[in-house]
Amino acid sequence: MNKKWMLLFGALLSVFIISGCGADKKASTEEKPAAAEEKAAGSEDEAKAVDTAADADKDASDGKEEAADFAELIDYMKTETDAEEATVLYENTEPQTHEMEGVTVSLDSYSLVELKDFHTDYSIPFNDETNGGVILASYTVKNDTDKDLYYTPFMYMSFTGATKDYNNYKDLIPEEGQLPTKLSPDNKYELKAGETITGTYAYPMGETHLKTAMESGSVTVEVPAPTTDPDDLSIALGTKGQFTIDLSEEGAEKTEANAAFYQDLASVDNMGEKNMIEEKEGIGQSQELGDATVTLDGYQFAEFTPNEYEAPRFENFKNGVVLLTVKFNVDNKGSDNIGLDNMGSNLYVNDGSQYQMSERMLSPYEYQESIAAGESGELLQVFVLDKEQYEKIWKDKAFEIELGPLYDENAEDISKGKKAEFKLK
């Protein structure tokens, strides 16, 4: 029973009992006027208290819709699919948020549910299997700006070893509560100024894909950016983000350990296991490059073991892999955006006698991702080192980096070919 109705029922029951006792004993009905007034005032106070509690419940829900009740959704899904069993394998209620120039998207909570022996009518989204799993997620999109914007809730999910990107399947849970129903082509994905929208998502996987996901430990969800033009979704505000959905306690522990490393693509895409060898932060070495100030903030050397899906990309490193990830802070004082996805650098090792280029396949940046004019941002550069040479020759000698030139998001040189040099150690 709803809490506020329980309070109201309790208050009315108290009044009824008091009235009933008065009817049984005539003497009780012959109260002094002052006592009667006090009782009436007390009853009014109780009623006001109930009304206040109800108003408080209402006020708490204003501006934000209620979060998904996964228990109800699971029961609905079990009945809808005629599943023999519906078991919660893992759940998390700790929110994750991503802010994009006044628009905040949050993953409020999620639940991984295993379904067994469901109707064949639902086998297609489960890769033609009748056993599998569903990740139920609750998302909130909030527009804190004073302008109407547009948001396409394409929250695609992926994981290491996945053969496709997973999206919402609308026929598993009530359609009216789903985020793609509340933000859809019917309303041109409109997100009004000051508006907050909460909705659900259901990601189905057959048992074969579920097993692969569980082995990975977690999945990732892409968070798209909002736009000012519903007819041109390429005009984005801010930079798209990513949420991590852990599928087990072990997966959560792995995610927590991964957070200690710079988020290059090896970390973001969970490409393997990193073990820290050496790190240094807060270096603060700055150079002027074009119209920007570039500051070497820190570096991390990590032994890297790729997983079975990524191992072919590192097959030339027969003696093991060490990843060097270098973090820069870039203060863009110019009038052009500084492209991140096309930034390159050279690493000089063995006291400058050998060098190699940064590995762009491990860059975490999307096409045309940039640091806007007048803004500051982070830049990561990644180098793949032969573990044996690192341990036997390079690790105790000088490491230097040559960064640049700077390019805008359209790959136009904006630092006149000039580069900046930094000494790591």
H, E, C per residue of the chain: CCHHHHHHHHHHHHHHHHHHHHHHCHHHHCCCHHHHHHHHHHHHHHHHHHHHHHHHHHHHHCCCCCCCCHHHHHHHHHHHHCCCEEEEEEEECCCEEEEECCEEEEEEEEEEEEEECCCHHHCHHHCCCCCEEEEEEEEEEEECCCCCEECCCCCCEECCCCCCCECCCCCCCCHHHEHHHHCCHHHCCEECCCCEEEEEEEEEEEHHHHHHHHHHCEEEEEECCCECCCCCCCCECCCCEEEEEECCHHHHHHHHHHCCCCCCHHHHCCCEEEEEEEEEEEEEEEEEECCEEEEEEEEEEEEEEECCCCHHHHCCCCCCEEEEEEEEEEEECCCCCEECCCCCEEEEECCCCEEEECCHHHCCCCCCCEECCCCEEEEEEEEEEEHHHHHHHHCCCCCEEEECCCECCCCCECCCCCCEEEECC
Cβ–Cβ under 8 Å, residues 422 and 398: no
pLDDT tens digits in sequence order for the chain, 425 residues long:
433 333 333 433 333 333 333 333 333 333 333 333 443 444 444 443 334 333 434 333 333 344 468 999 999 999 999 999 999 999 999 999 999 999 999 999 999 999 999 999 999 999 999 999 999 999 999 999 999 999 999 999 999 999 899 999 999 999 999 999 999 999 999 999 999 999 999 999 999 999 999 999 999 999 999 999 878 767 889 889 999 999 999 999 999 999 999 999 999 999 999 999 999 999 999 999 999 999 999 999 999 999 999 999 999 999 999 999 999 999 999 999 999 999 999 999 998 999 999 999 999 998 889 999 999 999 999 999 999 999 999 999 999 999 999 999 999 999 999 999 999 98
CATH of domain 70-252: 2.60.40.4170
Q: Which of 255, 256, 301, 252 is nearest to 280 (CA)?
A: 301
Q: Are strands 157-158 and 218-223 parallel, antiparallel or unpaired?
A: antiparallel
Q: Which CATH class is domain 262-423?
A: mainly beta
**Cα–Cα distance list, 7 to 14, 16, 43, 53, 352 (Å):** 11, 14, 14, 8, 77
Instruction: Give residue 139's pLDDT.
Output: 98
**Cα–Cα distance list, 344 to 86, 160, 347, 357 (Å):** 50, 27, 10, 7
The tokens of 61 are what? 């829900």
d(CA 239, CA 369): 8
Q: Which of 60, 68, 95, 268 is nearest to 172 (CA)?
A: 68
Cβ partners under 8 Å of residue 197, min gap 6: 65, 140, 141, 142, 179, 182, 183, 191
Residue 225, beta-bridge partner list: none
Burial of 391 per CB tally in 10 Å (0-12, 13-18, 19+): middle
Instruction: Give residue 21's pLDDT.
Output: 38
d(CA 44, CA 357): 78
Cβ partners under 8 Å of residue 36, min gap 6: none
